[in-house]
Amino acid sequence: MASPELIKEYRRFRAFQKQAQLDNEHRGAQTKIDEARVSAARMTEAYRSMAEKGAEQGACYRTLYLRDHDGVALTCEGWMFVRRVLAEGGATRVRASLLETFRLENGQCAPGDTPVEKITLEIYDQLLVDKGMATAVRIDGVDGDRHSQFLTFNDQVRGDLRRFLK
């Protein structure tokens, strides 16, 4: 196998490895949130805190989310800048900017390599019928049907990404 082909195959292998790791991390974090029975109100407060720190310090938070690829939901990774949280008429929406850093088709990329995506998220409680009628929080994109189940980690933050958000 020629050297360029070998490198290309190695990069594909690394992308699939990263995809598997992100899928496991997303599934594990979602399970913890479901088991902790975090409510939409509590999650809204966390996003409000993220918006305040974003305004004051330019904080961006690591985010995992599912993106639909021809009927298959694959985990993607990025950094989210939360601009504001709007609660109106029983619905809570989050306006944010997303810098994608991993998608299977593109592999790992640095912040700024892909354009900033303006997104709107909705935070709501969902009913888990298979878990004895329990409720769990869910955060989905409302800008289209491609993004769902956002998990934003408030303990994984960066303040150096503001220049990419313009």
* Dist CA 26 CA 40 (whole Å): 18
pLDDT in tens, 139-148: 999 987 678 9
Q: Nearest CA to 152 among 22, 37, 29?
A: 29
Average pLDDT on 150-159 reads: 93
**pLDDT at residue 91, as a whole number:** 83
Q: What average pLDDT does range 103-121 have in this prediction?
A: 91
**pTM, 2 dp:** 0.90
Give tens-digit pLDDT for 33-53.
988 889 899 999 999 999 999
